Amino acid sequence: MTRRMIIAALALGGVGLATYLAMYKLGFIGTLACTIGSCETVNLSKYATLVGVPVAVWGLGFYVSLFLVALAGTTDRFVNAAWVSHAMLAMTGWGVLFSGWLTYLELAVINAICMFCVISACLVTVLFFLALLEWRGRPQGQS
């Protein structure tokens, strides 16, 4: 299995996670299955919305985009495309920065930690390192 495949699989897991949090935020799920931390404190805080859109929905958009790019990168047509590596590195790099900012808010401002947010932050970090390895060994043939 290629790194792109692993990235796609992990991103799909992220899609599931973000969908769950977004559905909670939009009222389709009553309470979060949060065994550690205070997920609802975090998800009900004012920081859980950015530019009028729930952060979980932004996260869903991120994971879906990353999944589609990585999935495209596994196809015959784009398997040697360097832009896939560039895009995945840029996206996951941005994801790490954004997750870092959210984690800072949880620890320093909201004073509550959300288990699912921590899982997402860890997932993004793993995705970033995989994307970095993939980028360092990116195909040189196409762009």
Partner 1 sequence: MAKDRMDAGRGRSGPVKPAQKGSGGGAGGGGPRKKVEVRGSDRRPFYVLLGAIAVAAAVFIGWQMMQSKSSGVITIDPNMTLPEATGYLMGNATAPVQILEFADFECPACGSFATLTEPDVRKRLVETGQVSFRFMDFPLPIHRNTWDASFAAACANEQGKFWEMHDQIFATQDQWNGIVTNRPKAIFSRLARAIQLDEAQWEGCYDSQKYKLNIAATMREGERRLVQSTPTFVIGDKLIPGALGFDALKAYVDSAAAKAPVPGSAPTGDTALSKAVRPPGKSR
Residue 137's Cβ-count burial label (10 Å; 0-12, 13-18, 19+) is exposed
Closest separation between CB of residue 96 and partner 1, Å?
Answer: 20
Residue 138 Cα distances to 10, 64, 71, 92, angstroms: 19, 22, 15, 16
Nearer to partner 1, 15 or 91 (CB): 15
In the block, residue with structure tokens 């769950």: 20
Site membership for partner 1, residue 19 (CB under 8 A)? yes
User: x/- contact string, 28-67, with partner 1 (CB under 8 A)?
Assistant: xxxx-x------x---xxx-xx------------------
Nearer to partner 1, 97 or 123 (CB): 123
Site membership for partner 1, residue 79 (CB under 8 A)? yes
Instruction: Give the distance from CA 9 to its chain's centroid.
Output: 12
As a dihedral over the C-alpha atoms of residue 10, residue 42, residue 30, residue 63, rounded to 10 degrees, the angle is -20
Residue 5, CB-side half-sphere exposure with 13 Å CA sphere:
5
Structure tokens at 21: 């949090």
Nearer to partner 1, 100 or 137 (CB): 137
Q: DSSP character for 48? A: G
Nearer to partner 1, 28 or 101 (CB): 28
Site membership for partner 1, residue 115 (CB under 8 A)? no
Site membership for partner 1, residue 139 (CB under 8 A)? yes
Query: By the criterion CB under 8 A, which residues form the site for partner 1?
Result: 1-6, 8-9, 12-13, 15-17, 19-20, 23, 26-31, 33, 40, 44-46, 48-49, 73-74, 76, 79-80, 85, 134, 137-143
